[in-house]
Amino acid sequence: MSRADLVVVANRLPVDRDDDGGWRTSPGGLVTALEPVVRRTRGAWVGWPGRADLQIDPFTVDGIDLVPIALSADEVASYYEGFSNDTIWPLYHDVISAPRYRRVWWDAYVRVNRRFAEAAASSAAPGATVWVHDYQLQLVPSLLREARPDLTIGYFHHIPFPAYGLYSQLPWRRQVLEGLLGADVIGFQRVADAGNFAACVRRLLHYETKASGIRVPTADGGSRTTLARAFPISIDAAAYIELAQRPEVQARAREIRESMGSPRTVLLGVDRLDYTKGIRHRLKAYGELLSEGRLQVEDVTLVQVASPSRERVDAYVQLRDEIEQTVSRINGDFDTLGHTAIRYLHQTHPREEMVALYLAADVMLVTALRDGMNLVAKEYVASRIDNRGVLILSEFAGAADELGMALRVNPHDIDALKQALMRAIEMPGAEQGRRMRALRRRVVDNDIDLWSRSFLDALEAARRHKEDA
């Protein structure tokens, strides 16, 4: 396999090994966002194939060279489920669930980050650009810089970066900052994330920051500049529009409504089953509206798609139990033989089916307690080629910075959430149209292509700057 001019490094490969030894698209927003970019540039992608102890040689899929990284069962438990998803994930999502700080997990995180860095170093052509992704690999930028000073290194952080007061809990807070600062450009979802990061760097490392530039001291006593700023991620809007235009997808949307007894209103939630998504808050608000008689089960159905995620991490096991108990309580209390309050799907569906669901839903509920961006909000908007439907959007999702015409809510405020639900359900068509057109313009103009181009342009500018220095 030849060495590539663009190497993406992410915890997951774009495809996961499934039970039958086949491959399927990996979960989550990161892969959805990046795949079209790498395909276009014919780059290489270094990542884990999603199962323990899988030793696979590099192979090519759709013009992307895939470089699989093997993780032992112990490393999956300590680096992935442990440090990534039971330490960093809850800490960076404002401690919604308590992070666990375990030294053996940190040791595994260092070891596995080194393995990713080594694979990236051997996949990159001289002077190549390497683009590292997300919180599982925060040490890779500096490890890579040590091994290959010729490379231009970018890092994009897909999840929130917390305020200093929370970040400073991390026992390895300096090492993680130093790891990230190995990059020439560090991208965040929101301006606030970049600000939090710069504040942590100032307070913990005492480096100078000026606008988006951070002055990082080098071994020779000089310094170099790392750029840290917001590049809000997006979706392949054209692909969603194309799907929404297909007659068979539109027919499927009608069929979905009919199969539910053609209720007047269909509400929809689509999330990985994660405690950051505010699923419980949304169920609470909906359950109260039913019990107060402000909504009737004959008129309204909530479809909640909750795709399975991180099923061996305790906090996720508990969350699933709570959600499923709440769903069955609400259904038990309010269902009739002909109507169901909540259709709960603990499943993953192909994109066509998701677009049909988006088209079938009058109201989309995004009630995250904290979310880097939330691409589901953007997918819903892009799919609504009919300029109908209402998006309820948490102010704690990164998407709220851009999607100002959504109905904004604080999901912790259950009464406000109930009010927003009622307002969405009763919203006249003309107002839906006005809001949806403005939302769609935002998403269509700022699509995934613009995102990747602006990040790669910033990296290219950093490369030229280094050459001139």
47 near ligand G6P, judged by CB under 6 A: no
362 near ligand G6P, judged by CB under 6 A: no
Sole window of 25-33, 118-126, 209-217, 425-433 interacting with ligand G6P (rule: CB under 6 A): 25-33
Angstrom distance (rounded) from CA 53 to CA 369:
35
What three-state secondary structure class fits 263?
coil
Among candidate residues 93, 157, 158, 281, the one labeled active-site is 158
Sole window of 24-32, 34-42, 214-222, 288-296 interacting with ligand G6P (rule: CB under 6 A): 24-32
Angstrom distance (rounded) from CA 359 to CA 255:
11
Angstrom distance (rounded) from CA 82 to CA 98:
13
CA nearest neighbour of 299 among 254, 336, 351: 336
16 near ligand G6P, judged by CB under 6 A: no
447 carries an active-site annotation: no
271 near ligand G6P, judged by CB under 6 A: no
Angstrom distance (rounded) from CA 13 to CA 34:
11
Choice from 6, 13, 30, 315 touching ligand G6P (CB under 6 A): 30
Choice from 14, 29, 47, 263 touching ligand G6P (CB under 6 A): 29
217 near ligand G6P, judged by CB under 6 A: no
Amino acid occupying residue 443: V
Residue nearest to ligand G6P (CB): 28
Q: What is the DSSP string of 83-121?
A: IIIIIIHHHHTTTSS-----HHHHHHHHHHHHHHHHHHH
Choice from 65, 75, 134, 447 touching ligand G6P (CB under 6 A): 134
Quick check: 132 and 171 in contact, CB under 8 A? Answer: no
Choice from 281, 310, 378, 384 touching ligand G6P (CB under 6 A): 310
Q: Site residues for ligand G6P, window 79-98 (CB under 6 A)?
A: 85
Whose Cβ is closer to ligand G6P: residue 79's or residue 334's? 79
Sole window of 28-36, 291-299, 350-358, 419-427 interacting with ligand G6P (rule: CB under 6 A): 28-36
- β-partners of residue 186 are 155, 228
Sole window of 26-34, 147-155, 380-388, 428-436 interacting with ligand G6P (rule: CB under 6 A): 26-34
Q: Could you tell me the smallest distance in angstroms from the CB atom of residue 426 to ligand G6P? A: 33
The tokens describing 414, both together, are 């259950």
Quick check: 363 and 341 in contact, CB under 8 A? Answer: no
Whose Cβ is closer to ligand G6P: residue 91's or residue 159's? 159
Q: Could you tell me the smallest distance in angstroms from the CB atom of residue 28 to ligand G6P? A: 2
371 near ligand G6P, judged by CB under 6 A: no
19 carries an active-site annotation: no
115 near ligand G6P, judged by CB under 6 A: no
Residue with tokens 């990159």: 124
Q: How far is CA 431 from CA 110, 394, 419, 421, in A?
A: 52, 20, 17, 15
14 near ligand G6P, judged by CB under 6 A: no
Q: What is the DSSP string of 190-210?
A: SHHHHHHHHHHHHHHH--EEE
Angstrom distance (rounded) from CA 343 to CA 303:
5
DSSP assigned state of 2: P
Q: How far is CA 72 from CA 94, 264, 458, in A?
A: 30, 51, 36
**How many chain residues are in contact with ligand G6P, going by CB under 6 A?**
12
27 near ligand G6P, judged by CB under 6 A: yes
The binding site for ligand G6P (CB under 6 A) comprises 11-12, 27-30, 85, 134, 158-159, 309-310
Q: State the catalytic residues.
A: 158, 371
